[in-house]
Amino acid sequence: MTQAFINLAGADVVWLFDTATALAPNFLHSPVVLDVDDPKVVLPVDELAKQSKLSLVNEMRMLMDKRVRKIVVTTEIIRRKFVKLGVDEEKIEVIPNGVDSELFKPSPLPDEPVVLYYGTFQPHRANLLIKVVEKITSIRSDVRFLLIGDVPKPMVDTLRRMAGEKVELPGFIPRDKLPPFIQRSKICIFTQDRSLGGRHPAKLLDYMASGRPVVTTNVDESFPIRESGAGLITPVDADKMAEAVVKLLDDDALARQMAARGVQYAKRFDWRNMVNKYITLIKQVAQT
């Protein structure tokens, strides 16, 4: 039914996402723009081994399909990796994730030492996060933690044992409801313990647009902090990360300076600019 509708409508361009079936281009008579936000084929070798071979083959099939006129990725890192895999460089366009600058606005840093994290609590983020909370608590007893997302029950129990009521766990919060929570924080953290192919974490833009300095690990996905100077980047080490958090909590001038850098950097990624890039690209494909 969907195919019949597309054909009858005479679409000038079909916009597909990487979740689409690899066979989709076979049934389309219009040029395709493929949006690849979370590719598996660029993962490090140890992570690739965890993926099904079929999913990797299907992903490569989509990337190499001649009916796909343009492939949109979110970072230059992913673009370079696609080229190394043999994808036609001329087909690849980089359009980063955007941030709603009318929703995520800078606000003064609060006096209370609150450290915020939001996002997934999968092992590649949660394992280091637990250790960082434990270490910070051992250094400064006044720090509070605001950890937003679906936290597994065993992790909730562990965090409660470590920090008691100093840890606030509001659960999942829709993105459009996040600004008041971020405004309560003084520092935001990104506790990823391995590189995952060079994706563009939207949360880093949200943090920076909100005027919050960021402490993150030295992984590919931390490149916005590296480019902007909006925070401190540490090895994947709980002690080093905790020390960096405490340093920013203790140095208001440095925290404000880094926050200001982040605000300026995030302005480049206003979602309206990203939408305009998509409109320009789709018009270009439609005219070829």
Given a contact cutoff of 8 angstroms between Cβ atoms, the answer to whether 5 and 49 are in contact is: no
Q: Tens digit of pLDDT for each residue in 117-133?
A: 999 999 999 999 999 99
Domains of the chain: 2-98+270-286 (3.40.50.2000), 114-268 (3.40.50.2000)
Strands 144-148 and 68-73: unpaired
Residue 5: the pLDDT is 46
Q: What is the rounded distance in angstroms from the CA atom of residue 16 to the CA atom of residue 42?
A: 19
Supply 35's token pair: 């949006």
- pLDDT one digit per residue (tens) for the chain, 288 residues: 455 545 535 678 888 887 666 656 665 678 899 999 889 999 999 899 999 999 899 899 999 988 899 999 999 999 999 999 999 999 999 999 999 999 999 999 999 999 999 999 999 999 999 999 999 999 999 999 999 999 999 999 999 999 999 999 999 999 999 999 999 999 999 999 999 999 999 999 999 999 999 999 999 999 999 999 999 999 999 999 999 999 999 999 999 999 999 999 999 999 999 999 999 999 999 988
Q: What is the rounded distance in angstroms from the CA atom of residue 168 to the CA atom of residue 148?
A: 8
Given a contact cutoff of 8 angstroms between Cβ atoms, the answer to whether 190 and 204 are in contact is: yes
pTM over 0.75: yes
Q: What is the DSSP letter of 207?
A: H
Long-range contacts of 49-53 (CB under 8 A, 24+ apart): none
Residue 24: the pLDDT is 62
Residue 20: the pLDDT is 62
The H or E element containing residue 95 is none
